[in-house]
């Protein structure tokens, strides 16, 4: 979810096919007995920093207040209007826009009202869920997501996103670039593509090519089906890793790698991989990204909203390895 993006330039493209889609990780046998955790620790990770599969809340309710805060209206207090992207929806806490489903998942649904106003929902993790990747450590952020499958002409302007900001954004509302933004998954206009995007430094241009950001598109991502998306920071030392890196995965398949040397700005890279982070989930409507890709102003009169434009989330998890030099951690069960 680009803070100030006006257009997009796709640097590379990965195509995802049925033959190379991965499988969700099965639960391990040593999970805590007081709560069923549906996702086991991936290989190479030792503990969880955050986990929510939304099973602790009743159907029809909002997500856990312990883990999530709802962002409401058209801006943060004293932040840029329309969330800095030109999106047109109003974020609400209405159950028609955000609720736990009967299946125990979270669903965010954009709605077009009779007067043409759009409403939707956006949530971010609370301070208790903040996490960071320490030097010598590896951290993975992962979610299982299903996107609405209305045809493209009915989803023009619909902009779902799973992303991360620096947690200092709570006090520094206009410093998203300097704090570093990572879009783990965003998609627009009902397309069967999703994007990974990184924003950093200063704009225009700067080390992350603002205001477009550094980005990579993944094609062939079927809508109406579950997909596992992940973003990984690797700050471990020693051979064969000569430098730090970030990696993105779709359905268990590596889709993009960004190396420290590609940023060519030490402070910008350190902000990206080292800053404390919050996670966000939202479905925006309209704005610079869907407009820039489609070449028209969105949403259009054909944009429908509702279930066919929704984003459904099965779980969100953050995993970590032990740091090379040790260190403390918090485990979320």
- Cα separation, 198 vs 203, in Å, equals 13
pLDDT in tens, 235-255: 997 645 569 999 999 999 999
160 lies in some domain: yes
CA 206, CA 221: separation in Å to the nearest integer? 31
Residue 14 pLDDT = 61
Judge whether 199 lies within some domain: yes
Write down the pLDDT at residue 2: 56
Number of Cβ within 10 Å of residue 186's Cβ equals 22
Strands 98-100 and 277-285: unpaired
Q: Is the pLDDT of residue 33 over 60?
A: no
Q: What is the pLDDT of residue 234?
A: 97
Q: Average pLDDT, stretch 164-178?
A: 93
Per the structure, the complete domain to which residue 273 belongs is given by 46-320
CB-based burial of residue 294 (10 Å sphere; 0-12 exposed, 13-18 middle, 19+ buried)? middle
* β-bridge partners, 163: 183, 280
With contact defined as beta carbons under 8 Å apart, do 51 and 317 qualify?
yes
- The one-character DSSP state at 167 is G
C-alpha–C-alpha distance, residues 285 and 189, integer Å: 9
Q: In this predicted structure, what is the pLDDT of residue 16?
A: 58
3-state SS of 188-228 is CCCCCEEEEEEECCCCCEHHHCECCCEEEEEECCCCCCEEE
- In terms of Cα–Cα distance, which of 157, 102, 143 is closest to 281? 143
Q: What is the Cα 157 distance to its own chain's centre?
A: 18
Instruction: Kindly report which listed range (137-146, 150-159, 257-266, 319-328) carries the lowest average pLDDT score.
Output: 319-328
- Residue 61 is part of a domain; what is its CATH number? 2.60.120.200
CA distance 108 to 100: 9
What are 64-78's pLDDT values in tens digits? 999 999 999 999 998
String of DSSP letters for 262-314: HH--HHHHHHHHHS-EEEEEEEEESSHHHHHHHTS-SS-TT---SGGG-EEEE
- Specify the pairing of strand 47-52 against strand 158-166: unpaired
Q: What is the pLDDT of residue 23?
A: 39
Count of structural domains within the chain: 1
Q: How confident is the model at residue 237, as a pLDDT?
A: 78
Residue 173: predicted pLDDT: 85
Residues near 103 by Cβ (< 8 Å), separated by ≥ 6? none
Q: Categorize the per-residue pLDDT at 308 as very low, low, confident or very high, splitting at 50, 70 and 90.
A: very high
Q: Is 36 inside any structural domain?
A: no
At 20, is the secondary structure helix, strand, or coil?
Answer: helix
pLDDT tens for residues 172-229?
Answer: 988 889 999 999 999 999 999 999 999 999 999 999 999 999 999 999 999 999 999 9
Please state whether 329 falls in left (phi above 0), alpha (psi between -120 and 50) or beta: beta
The rounded distance, in Å, linking the Cα atoms of 134 and 277 is 12
The pLDDT, as a whole number, for residue 314 is: 98
What's the chain's Rg over C-alpha atoms? 19
* Structural domain contains residue 21: no
Flag whether 32 is in a domain: no
Q: What is the pTM of this model?
A: 0.89
Report the C-alpha gap between 18 and 21 in whole angstroms: 5
Mean pLDDT of the chain: 89
Cα distances (angstroms) measured from residue 97 to each of 69, 91, 166, 227: 15, 8, 26, 22
Residue 196 and residue 1: Cα distance in Å, rounded? 10
Q: What is the pLDDT of residues 84-124, one digit of tens each?
A: 999 999 999 999 999 999 999 999 999 999 999 999 999 99
pLDDT band at 35 (very low <50, low <70, confident <90, very high): very low
Is residue 110 domain-resident?
A: yes
Instruction: State what percent of residues in the chain have pLDDT above 90.
Output: 80
Within a domain: residue 25? no
pLDDT band at 330 (very low <50, low <70, confident <90, very high): very low
> Is residue 9 one of the residues assigned to a domain?
no
Residue with tokens 């030097």: 135
Average pLDDT, integer, range 292-296: 97
Hey, is 118 helix, strand or coil? strand
């Amino acid at each position: 979810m680009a803070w100030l993006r006006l257009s997009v330039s796709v640097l590379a493209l990965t195509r995802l096919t049925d033959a190379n889609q991965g499988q969700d990780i099965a639960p391990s046998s040593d999970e805590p007995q007081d709560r069923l955790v549906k996702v086991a620790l991936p290989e190479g990770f030792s503990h969880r920093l955050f986990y929510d599969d939304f099973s602790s809340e009743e159907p029809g309710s909002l997500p856990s207040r312990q883990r999530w805060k709802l962002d409401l209206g058209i801006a943060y207090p004293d932040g840029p209007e329309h969330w800095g992207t030109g999106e047109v929806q109003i974020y609400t806490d209405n159950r028609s826009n955000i609720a736990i489903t009967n299946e125990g998942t979270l669903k965010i649904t954009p709605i077009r009202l009779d007067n043409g106003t759009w409403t939707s929902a956006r949530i971010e993790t609370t301070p208790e869920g903040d996490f960071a990747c320490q030097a010598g450590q590896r951290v993975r952020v992962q979610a299982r997501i299903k996107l609405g499958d209305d045809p493209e002409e009915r989803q023009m302007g619909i902009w779902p996103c799973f992303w991360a900001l620096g947690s200092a954004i709570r006090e520094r509302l206009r410093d998203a670039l300097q704090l570093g933004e990572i879009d783990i998954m965003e998609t627009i206009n009902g397309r069967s593509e999703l994007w990974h995007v990184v924003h950093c430094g200063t704009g225009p241009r700067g080390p992350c090519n603002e205001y477009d950001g550094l980005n990579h598109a993944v094609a062939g991502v079927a809508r109406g089906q579950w997909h596992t998306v992940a973003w990984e920071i690797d700050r471990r030392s020693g051979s064969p890793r000569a430098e730090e890196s970030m990696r993105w995965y779709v359905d268990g398949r590596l889709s993009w790698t960004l190396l420290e040397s590609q940023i060519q700005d030490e402070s910008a890279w350190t902000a990206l991989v080292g800053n404390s982070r919050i996670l966000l989930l939202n479905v925006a409507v309209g704005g610079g990204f869907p407009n820039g890709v489609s070449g028209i102003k969105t949403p259009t009169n054909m944009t429908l909203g509702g279930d066919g434009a929704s984003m459904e989330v099965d779980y969100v998890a953050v995993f970590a390895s032990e740091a090379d030099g040790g260190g403390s951690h918090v485990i979320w069960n």
